[in-house]
Amino acid sequence: MKHWTLLELAQHLNAELIGDGDYPVTGIATLANAQPHQISFLANMRYASQLADCKAGAVILHPDQDHYFAGNKLLLNNPYLGYAKLSALFATASAYQGVHASAVVAASASIGDAVVIGPGVVIGEHVRLDAGVHIGPNCVIGDHCSIGKETRLAANVTLYHGITLGQRNILHSGAVIGADGFGFAKDGVDWVKIYQLGGVVTGDDVEIGAGTTIDRGALDDTRIGNGVKLDNQVQIAHNVVLGDHTAIAGCTAIAGSTTLGKNCTIAGACGITGHLYLADGVHVTAMSLVTHSIKEAGAYSSGTSLDANHKWRRNAARFKQLDQIAKRVKLLEQEQ
């Protein structure tokens, strides 16, 4: 089992070490579950009381909180960030190496150094995979795709033709990049397909969750900025533009040609309709529907709060009378 000494971890985090620098650490765990060979962290004062009985071999703490734990500790101004940085050390690596014999790789593809292509993968014509790219089992990469250095695709990811991914992207299983945008022109009752001729371009350090779909643009490209993080089952329609470092939680759908600014956070199960512009720093709470552009940073919401069903029914029935109620209140005020 791989392990690090506490001194090595302190140096990795640039943290102040208090205790035994030779202490071996083989994993990370929560305060409640940590064992002596593991390191833990206090990121939320709600859990400070757990430190008294914590069995962890070491704990990452804010310097102001070092008195909460008697054992080995690493002091850092942002213990949660310290945890994040350590988590990478303990992640499981895949066993695949090189290009698996069962993969079908077009002769015209360009394969960089140390690229891993798993079993069952299909790589189309004129694909370019830069150094350190990792393609998981049964992925399909369409013709003319380009994938930047050290980008990793888990198993069963699909890239249509002409997709460009930046460096250090992570794409999770079931993700589909570059399917046709949902575009049709009406011809009487018939829908005539608008073939989608644009592509998808992602920046660096993008993560795309399981089952997430990003459609190719109609004419121009759909564009995902640097450091964007998309959770599972997110739907990004054609010609959407996502600004750098914007994060979108699971099951949110963004309709065509909408632009989100930088550093936005969109919670789960939201909908954002098409052809809108959201400013930098917009935050939308869970299951909200955005139907107008938002010009100012801030938090936005729609919907109603949960209630016992029998109460909700009565209030929901009244919602249909709300305009009438408002008019009646006005009348009462006038007649006073």
Q: By C-alpha distance, which of 241, 205, 243 is closest to 220?
A: 241
Q: 30 to 59, contacts with its own copies by CB under 8 A? A: 30, 33
CB neighbour burial string for 20-44, b if at least 16 within 10 angstroms, e if fewer: eeebebebbbebeebeebbbbbbbe
- From 51, 245, 261, 266, residue interacting with its own copies (rule: CB under 8 A): 245
Burial of 275 (0-12, 13-18, 19+ CB in 10 A): exposed
- Comparing CB distances to its own copies, the nearer of 182 and 277 is 182
The reply on whether position 322 binds its own copies by CB under 8 A is yes
Residue 41 exposure: Cα atoms within 13 Å on the Cβ side: 22
Of 80, 132, 259, 297, which one interacts with its own copies (CB under 8 A)?
80
Set 62, 134, 172, 238: catalytic member: 238
- 3-state SS of 59-89 is EEECHHHHHHCCCEEEECCCHHHHHHHHHHH
Indicate whether 303 belongs to the interface with its own copies (CB under 8 A): yes
Q: Does 88 bind its own copies (CB under 8 A)?
A: yes
> Does position 213 bind its own copies by CB under 8 A?
yes
C-beta of 12: minimal distance to its own copies in Å? 13
Is position 118 an interface residue for its own copies (rule: CB under 8 A)? Answer: yes
Residue 103 bridge partners (DSSP): none
Q: Does 304 bind its own copies (CB under 8 A)?
A: yes
Residues 303 and 287 sit within 8 Å (Cβ to Cβ): yes
Q: Which of 148, 203, 261, 271 binds its own copies (CB under 8 A)?
A: 271
Binding residue for its own copies (CB under 8 A) from 6, 133, 215, 258? 215
Instruction: Work out whether 102 is an interface residue with its own copies (CB under 8 A).
Output: yes
- The span of 7-15, 51-59, 69-77, 81-89 binding its own copies (CB under 8 A) equals 81-89
Beta-sheet strand order (sheet of 247-248): 116-117, 134-135, 152-153, 170-171, 207-208, 229-230, 247-248, 265-266, 282-284
Closest CA to 262 of 220, 228, 222: 228
Write down the least CB distance from residue 68 to its own copies, Å.
Answer: 19
- Note whether 134 binds its own copies by CB under 8 A: no
| Residues constituting the chain | 336
Q: In whole angstroms, what is the distance from residue 37 CA to residue 16 CA?
A: 20
Binding mask 146-165 for its own copies (x = CB under 8 A): --------xxx-x-xxx---
Min. distance of Cβ 170 from its own copies in angstroms? 8
Residues 174-193 that bind its own copies (CB under 8 A): 174, 176, 179-180, 182-187, 189-193
238 is catalytic: yes
